[in-house]
Amino acid sequence: MTAEQQVPNVDEGKPAGGWSEFFEAVKPLVSAATKIVHEERLGTKTTMRVGGAARIYAEPASVADLQVLLREARAWGGAVLMLGRGSNVIVPDEGVNGLVVSLAHQAWSSFEPREDGRVAVGAGLRLKNLCGLAAKAGLVGFEFLEGIPGNIGGALRMNAGAMGAWMFDVVEDVQLMTRAGEVRTLTQAAMHVGYRHCEELHQGIALGALLRPATRSDAETVKRQMDAYSRKRHESQPREPSAGCIFKNPPGNSAGRLIDESGLKGARVGDAEVSPTHANFIVNRGSATAADVIALVRRVRARVREVKGVDLEPEVLLYGKEWKDVL
């Protein structure tokens, strides 16, 4: 997962009166600590480094401010999307016709160990920081998340996985907000979770989670395991800007191997390239556009279908759109 913050399905269309009017109406309703911007470029906020602007971009500083944003967007008829650390998404070149909300404010980055060994975390906490703080506390079980460029919210939304483990392996419960602004807590058992999927977070917005470590150990032992995973990731994955794995692994197969065996490593459209290091990564060689990436995704899918008879399904999200509309 690559992990990316939850991206709820949204209704198409701009708010009644237009985005400029929406911005002017909503800005006075949120606290001064909440960042809200009209026409904020998103490319630099993503790991792929492509894409246009959000009509409105906001970083709420509290639950109350997030509720205001959702309430007003609903009243005005505007679409709302969530953005985390910007991994696992391709932002279209024309940008996003919606209110993009990011839990990037420090208020959402909490890490609170409990006496019983569990730890409460905020949805905005970076996975890298979770791993580092857990290691210092001697908490075992989060090491597989080391190196995934996302945050807790995105890892929950996509059930992030690596090294044979999955995000929901360590989740006890999740606090979320419905699109109507209601705050709810759901146990792991009550949620519908699968491969790169959590049904409740397609519409709901993760606010935080209660995690349970596998066991306790000394900090040095946990750090050694994290370092081993980090080395493995660096040896097998490209360093250039990317959105993480582009395609889901078909049942019983490997998307990267299928792409490699189809002769596609190094294939390019503009500055978008199938990585020579790992064929399931498309990297940005410097000035790729979202259109370049999408065209290369089409080319890879067509070639793998022709050579291997397999239809690869994108794992990355086409932000604000549906892949079926462009493939």
Catalytic amino acids?
196, 245, 315
CA distances to 139, 184, 209 from 101, rounded to whole Å, are 31, 19, 19
Give CA angle at 249 (243, 255), nearest 5°. Answer: 75
Neighbour-count burial of 182, counting CB atoms closer than 10 A to its CB (0-12 exposed, 13-18 middle, 19+ buried): exposed
